[in-house]
Amino acid sequence: MLKVLHFYKTYYPDTFGGIEQVIYQLSESGAEYDVESTVLSLSKRGDIDNQKIGKQRVFYAKTNFEIASTPFSLSCIKKFKELAKQADIIHYHYPFPFMDMLHFLCRINKPTIVSYHSDIVKQKFFSRLYSPLMNHFLKSVDCIVAASPNYVKTSIVLQKYKEKVRVVPYGLNENSYPKEDNDRLQYWKDKVGEGFFLFIGAFRYYKGLYTLLDAARNTALPIVIVGSGGIESELRTKAEELSLLNVDFLGALPDKDKAALLQLCLSVVFPSHLRSEAFGITLLEGAMYGKPLISCEIGTGTSYINQHQITGIVVTPSDSVALHDAMMTLWEDRKLAKTYGDNARVRFDKLFTAKRMAERYKDIYHSLLIDNNVNRL
């Protein structure tokens, strides 16, 4: 049994973002390949040891303070060092500057791999301060994995280390999603209808939701928005100011409700307009459910999932007119929408399953162990 320690700044049940989903899917699917996963993260709930989530052991270190959205923990130093000793592979999830510090502070000498989820986009000043540590860290690890060739090509950081970069797309396990629930389907059909445009995600600055609201102006296109946090109050205020009676904010919902809405919708719309959106798990979910996709060209994995005029429509970022026109195209041509949706499902099965992701990571893990043993001879 190959033992892997995953390390990231937060995890279930504290947060439910895309990176957490990737760690979960990779850990659960990795068990089929004799990969035993342990997850270490920081938590405001305090120090918690050896919790069980699915097939994974999960440890939490108490968050003492945060700087520029980066949590720090004193107890994590000892905990990370102890868990690292038990692991064969240390699997880091970037960006998390405190993690870089611990890598050197704890003098890690195990094979190391970094899943490079995103460049640091918003924290410009902090990024300049962090840059020396980041470069030292990325230089020291054995392998860096990006989720799409698009991101490798457009990331200045990854281009500096491209000799050690590999590409493994994120993947989802369809069986980990709730089964069809006729009661939930009927509930949401009565509440919001069907054949609507669906957005699912946290309300963050880079999600392009202001553009989506502008695109909804002066139309009757039904739009359903699932999520919360961040700029939620500002978005709701704008929707009221624009008198958008065709837009429903449903708040954060359990997975069974999101699954029902994914089945009922016409299309998944994903208007993220900045590189902070490195991939787009919601786009993957839309493809898994066979839905046509709408996204923006931002030079990241969103355009690796959604191929223009094949699986959906890719538009210019922050362009409400282009986004409106894309939605109208699918609304008025249901045959084309179905073709795009069918193509999205085919592409999902070919490239984006959790099994495929876990298998490719397993191969990397084993290659790192072999290289490490050779280097010690």
Buried b (16+ CB within 10 A) or exposed e, 210-236: bbbbbbbeeeebbbbbbbeebbbeebe
Its pTM stands at: 0.90
Contact 8, 20 (CB under 8 A): yes
- pLDDT tens track, the chain, 377 positions: 999 999 999 999 998 888 999 999 999 999 999 999 999 999 999 999 999 999 999 999 999 999 888 999 999 999 999 999 999 999 999 999 999 999 999 999 999 999 999 988 776 666 778 899 999 999 999 999 999 999 999 999 999 999 999 999 999 999 989 988 999 999 999 999 999 999 999 898 999 999 999 999 989 999 999 999 889 999 999 999 999 999 999 999 999 999 999 999 999 999 999 988 989 999 999 999 999 999 999 999 999 999 999 999 999 999 999 999 999 999 999 999 999 999 999 999 999 999 999 999 999 999 999 977 655 54
- Dihedral sign for Cα 255, 42, 209, 343, please: negative
What domains appear along the chain, each with residue ranges and CATH number?
Answer: 2-173+354-376 (3.40.50.2000), 175-351 (3.40.50.2000)
Using the 8-state DSSP alphabet, how is residue 179 labeled? P
Neighbours of 37 (CB within 10 A): 27
- What's the CA gap between 192 and 130, in Å, rounded? 46
